[in-house]
A and B are shown apart, each in its own frame.
Chain A
């Protein structure tokens, strides 16, 4: 599924998610060369470096939560998982975003038993 794609992994991403990426044909590269940037922790120094890069400022670098890979691994149809739902914004923005839209999808993935309904 990731044939020919280069991925960069923050130190916060577990080994099995990296292995899944490689098993699906992806290669691991440095951040500049990668088409995909994966992280599990927006406040990890590796990921902070991305958020402070020129690429990020110029809209050329979106960090995705590596749970995208576990969602793909668990999906019946692998390419039906929407990558766009796994955007990982900088840690300092997450509180504010959460207040407006509720929990992130990658958080729901983690504790999907906790259902929260905020009436607006």
Chain B
């Protein structure tokens, strides 16, 4: 029973209980980010997803750079 209680407490961050506004796929991650007392479960998930997104962001920026380089060169000739 005690184990169940601590489990319940662990689950009580704003990712676990909807506060005020209804949750959906569009606001959930932002809500979790703004939650100061994330439960262990959500903290681990958010940290892992953030790292994954950072990697993606980096690779996106790299591919954009490759795409933009010739255009930028043209621009700098104009200026």
Contact = CB atoms under 8 A, between A and B. Distances in A.
Interface of A: 5, 34-37, 51-52, 56-57, 59-64, 82-85, 87, 89-90, 92-93, 96-97, 100-101, 117
A93 B48 contact: yes
Nearest to B15: A84
B30 interface: yes
B28 A100 contact: no
Given A5-B24, A56-B56, A61-B26, 10 more contacts: A35-B26, A57-B53, A59-B33, A59-B53, A61-B25, A87-B42, A89-B49, A89-B52, A90-B49, A101-B41
Given A82-B18, A85-B16, A90 B52 contact: yes
23 contacts: A35-B25, A36-B24, A36-B25, A56-B56, A57-B57, A57-B60, A59-B30, A60-B30, A61-B29, A82-B11, A82-B17, A83-B23, A83-B24, A83-B28, A84-B15, A84-B16, A84-B23, A87-B42, A89-B48, A89-B49, A92-B52, A101-B40, A101-B41
Contacts of A36: 24-25
A101 B39 CA distance: 11
A75 B61 CA distance: 45
A60 to B, nearest CB: 6
Contacts, number: 76
A92 B24 CA distance: 23
A29 to B, nearest CB: 12
A100 to B, nearest CB: 5
Contacts of A90: 49, 52
Given A84-B42, A89-B45, A62 B52 contact: no
B1 to A, nearest CB: 14
